[in-house]
Each structure stands twice: as C-alpha cells, then as structure tokens.
Amino acid sequence: MLIIERFGRRKVLLTSVAGVIFALICMGFSFGYVSRDSVITQPLNATLEDVIPDFIPYFKHCAQLENCNLCTKDEHCGFCMPNNFPTYGYCLPIDQKASVIESKSLIGPCSFVNNSMRYDWMDDYCATGYAILLLVPLVTFIVFFACGYAPSSWIINAEIYPMWARSICVSIAAFCNWLFDIIASTSFTLLIRNIGSDSAFFICAALTMVAFVFFFIFLSETKGTSLEDLEKTAKLNKKPATLVSFTVCSNSLFQPTTCEEMQ
C-alpha cells in the first residue's frame, strides 16, 4: 500500500506487470535449458531384462522416453537414478499400489523388492544442478507480483465504479478473479504435461503482455483523487444522451389549436 500511495496506481501496476513478464520469460528459458540438460535414459542391463516378464504394465512405454524430464512428465513412469554418478538413469513404471509418500518403481533397483540405497527415485521432478536458474526468476516473479500486480487489482477495482454500482461490481469482479484463479491453476498443470514447462511459461508471458497493453491504454491514474471526485469525473466524461424533440398539438372546440415542442 505504501508503494502504491507513493508512486501511484498506474505507474506501480505497469511496472509490476512488466516485471512479471520479464520473470515469466526468464523462467521459460530456464526450464527449457534444464530440460535439455536432463539426465538421459538407459535401458536396464541384460541381466535384469532377462527376468522382466512381458506383461509388466508400461515397461516398454517408459523405456522409450529419452530423458528424466520426459519420464517424470508421464503419469505412469518415474526415473531411477544412481545417487553417486547421475549421468544416466532408468525410466521405469510406477508401482500404483504403493502409497504417495513411499512411491517406488514397479521393477528395477528402485522397487520395494530391491530398494537399493544407491539409487534415487523421482516420479514428479528431476534432480538438476542448475536450481539457481529456476530460483532467481521465481523470486523475481514473486517480488514484482506482490508489490503491484496483486494489491493494485483490488485497490483499482474498488475505485473505478460509481457509488450506486460499487458493491455489485466489486462482487462480480471478485467472483471472476477467483474463477480465473481456478482455471489458471488447473490449466497450468495440463499445459506442463502436454507442451512442457518452458512453453507453458511463454504462454503465460504472452497473456500478461496483452494485459499490459490493456492497462497502458485504458487505465488512468487515480492517485490523490477521492471517490467522490472520481465519480464526478466519470459523469463529466460520460457521453451525453441524444435528445429527441417532437411537437405536440392540442385541438379543442372551444380553444384554438396550440402546438408545443417537447424533448
């Protein structure tokens, strides 16, 4: 609130949105780089392959995935990687009977049967040595979003409506805000699974650019203006209604015909 009151709604919001766009683009490039640097998949050695039955579900499907990033995106597969020499790993089917807390592979060194301490099992993420590339843009996104984008939407939304419609319009805006929060949360995971993390962040950046253009064109500064003055300004800027004039004539037996122009 202090930043908004000091520098103004429009300036803070536009700066915040620009920072969010920059952070989203950086996250897209960071995730793309980390994905390309993901640990490659190798088939299980010949000794293990000889004892694997053909009816093991999703074994051949998981073995075709090229690296850890592609493997962990698949809901049926996970990545089993040596913890002391992480240059390769095995993409193996997930044991669906295992609990979420103790997720294991259905076969191989990361299964409940083997449970080798020399291997790490990952079914929803990939270990990487470039975590700083993801952390910096993420923190940048949080800072810019929290400083302007998040609070400005509520402040400006409460100021731009006339008094008689403020409660209804704010309620509708709040409903739309939470509705699109749900849509964004659910669709983002689908985007990550289908087109990848980098492309998902680029799409979010493109949509935020559209919002920036909209704010830049239509958002006016309301710093230092009371709600009453804002309503008066809205009335002055309102286009006056076009008046239609017509003539009414009265005819009587005892009085002469009179006509009157009315609007």
Residue 205: pLDDT over 50: yes
Residue range 208-219: mean pLDDT, rounded: 91
Residue 83: pLDDT over 70: yes
Q: What is the pLDDT of residue 227?
A: 66
Q: Supply the pTM of this predicted model.
A: 0.70
At 172, the pLDDT band (50, 70, 90 cuts) reads: very high
Residue range 164-192: mean pLDDT, rounded: 88
Of 21, 24, 203, 27, the residue nearest 131 (C-alpha)? 27
Residue range 84-93: mean pLDDT, rounded: 80
Q: For 100, phi and psi rounded to 5 degrees?
A: -65, -35
Q: What is the pLDDT of residue 52?
A: 58
pLDDT in tens, 32-80: 888 777 888 888 764 455 455 555 778 888 888 888 888 888 888 888 8
Which 3-state string (H, E, C) describes the chain? CHHHHHHCHHHHHHHHHHHHHHHHHHHHHHHHHHHHCCCEECCCCHHHHHCCCCCCCCHHHHHCCCEHHHHHHCCCEEEEEECCCCCEEEEEEECCCCCCCCCCECCCCCECCCCCCCEEEECCCCCCCCHHHHHHHHHHHHHHHHHHHHHHHHHHHHHCCCHHHHHHHHHHHHHHHHHHHHHHHHHHHHHHHHHCHHHHHHHHHHHHHHHHHHHHHHCCCCCCCCHHHHHHHHHHHCCCCCCCCEEEEECCCCCCCEEEEEC
Between CA 128 and CA 97 the distance in angstroms is: 28
User: What residue spans in the chain does CATH classification 1.20.1250.20 cover?
Assistant: 1-32+131-219
Between CA 25 and CA 28 the distance in angstroms is: 5
pLDDT in tens, 229-258: 666 665 545 544 444 455 556 555 555 556
Residue range 135-141: mean pLDDT, rounded: 92
Between CA 216 and CA 211 the distance in angstroms is: 9
1-32+131-219 has CATH 1.20.1250.20 classification:
yes
**CB count, 10 Å around CB of 149?**
19
